[in-house]
Amino acid sequence: MNHLDEKLKIKTLGGFMVSYKDKAIGTSKSKGNAKKMWMLFEYLLLNHGRTVNQEELIDILWPDAEVTNPLNSLKVLVFKLRKEIDTLGFLPGKEVILNAHGSYSFNDNIPYEVDIVEFEKLVKASDEDGLSQEEKLDILLQAIDCFKGNVLSLSQGNSWAVALQTQYGNMYRDTVEKAQNILTDQEDFAKIVEICSEALLRQPYEESYYYFLITAYAAMENYDSAANMYNKVKDMMQEEYGATPGVEFESAYKEIMKGRPNRNVTPDELTSDLEEKIDYVSSFFVEYGEFKQIYRLTARRLGRYYQDARISIYTLGIRKGASLTKKEKDDHMKILENALSFTLRQGDVFTRPGPTQYVVLFTDVTEENAVMIAKRIENYFERHKQNDAFGVIHTMDTLESAHVKRMEAMENSKKKK
């Protein structure tokens, strides 16, 4: 394949790295003090589409320092940078960093991609009209994952970099907040903890992240973690600004923590608090993380408490070539969920592990009975579906065999060692 068909990949968020296929150069790869060389690359890259004269580059690279021969120093930096690019086997460095009439530029016509551009595209895509909340959340989470740290970390403190750092930092903060709002509506508080904990590594002084974490912990009734997070933000505010959190933050925290138990409870009180408040007639839907814990506990109890256990997977089948909207798919996933809720036993546990799948954990159910249950679910779905392009695909495995397979894999791994 011609090397022009491959892209030069440039990472600017949380460090600087340039890679092509399996080779990479950048701040984490080079030896010695090459900071100014990579600052030069950053500046030319982020000013792509225009040529930058020598005087401007000298002012950027040596704003306060006295340099005996700044023009020669700049030429040496360009020479070293081009040599580094040569090692990638992409294009000669002189074809990436161009020189014309005493000015330099990044060649915008080569095939390349930059993480900061991809981040910005995702953020803009999340604001497009017509997206479902699930689609919007998926794009927002991709953008959050893309943001590995501040842009222009090499040029931290330089006046030209401050505006861009602020712009993209605010964009990242807003993206986290939008994702948090959707996750709150979905009551996925564990995911909020995950993304906000990661966000604090990027922006440790952003007060809103602490608030989101406190709210999520309290919603999960993990009041100790909520209190610890509150104390952490208090210490941070005192240390950095010599102040305490604002009145609104304090009031919100106190309101959130009202649900925290303020005394030890009796066994009767604890049982009353733990038990379901509604007389459910359907099976038990849980989040995937909870399902994994129940699965593992059931696997441990096989033979002692349960004679047999198995999992059944119900996948929403779609006829090949059918043209369907996102709403139609969502509506039929809801029909499948209803089929499970009202067909399974009250003690059966199920979850949604994928976009178009539900999985059920059965205990003390024979294979024959599991097949009969699947038939009832399929019949319910067929009666209620609104489009013949949809169907239900059922697959099954015994929990015991899955457990044994894992044990066998571990044993085989030990033997190979």
Q: What is the pLDDT of residue 19?
A: 92
Average pLDDT, the chain: 84
Mean pLDDT, residues 277-300 taken together: 71
Highest mean predicted confidence (pLDDT) among 84-88, 244-248, 339-343: 84-88
Nearest residue to 211 via CA among 224, 194, 225, 229: 229
Is the pLDDT score of 273 beyond 70?
no
| Close Cβ partners of 65 (under 8 Å, ≥ 6 residues apart) | none
Lowest mean per-residue pLDDT among 250-259, 362-371, 384-393: 250-259
- Could you give the domains of the chain? 1-129+141-175 (1.10.10.10), 187-275 (1.25.40.10), 284-408 (3.30.70.270)
Range 255-280 average pLDDT: 65
Instruction: Return phi, psi of residue 391, to 5°.
Output: -155, 180
Is residue 382 pLDDT above 90, yes or no?
Answer: yes
Tell me, what's the pLDDT at 247? 75
Query: Which pLDDT value is given to residue 209?
Result: 92
Share of the chain above pLDDT 70, in %: 84
Backbone angles phi, psi at 136, to 5 degrees: -60, -45
Mean pLDDT computed over 178-205: 92
For a pLDDT cut of 90, what percent of the chain falls above it? Answer: 43
The partner residues of 354 in beta bridges, in order of sequence, read 357
Given a cut of 80, is residue 403 above it in pLDDT? no
Residues 6+ apart with CB under 8 A from 96: 8, 82, 85, 90, 106, 107, 110
pLDDT for 303: 63
Nearest to 350 by CA among 401, 400, 380, 313: 313
Distance CA 274, CA 270 (A): 6
The reported pLDDT for the residue numbered 411 is 64
CA distances from 143 to 63, 127, 201, 205, 345 (A): 34, 12, 16, 21, 41
Q: Which of 127, 131, 188, 126 is nearest to 327 (CA)?
A: 131
User: What is the DSSP secondary structure assignment for residue 7, as one 8-state letter?
Assistant: P
Average of per-residue pLDDT across 230-234: 87
Alpha helix (H) residue ranges in 20-158: 35-46, 54-61, 70-86, 93-96, 115-125, 133-146
pLDDT over threshold 70, residue 124: yes
Q: Which two tokens stand for residue 320?
A: 């090949």
**pTM for this entry:** 0.58
**Averaged over 130-135, what is the pLDDT?**
93
pLDDT at 357 > cutoff 70: yes
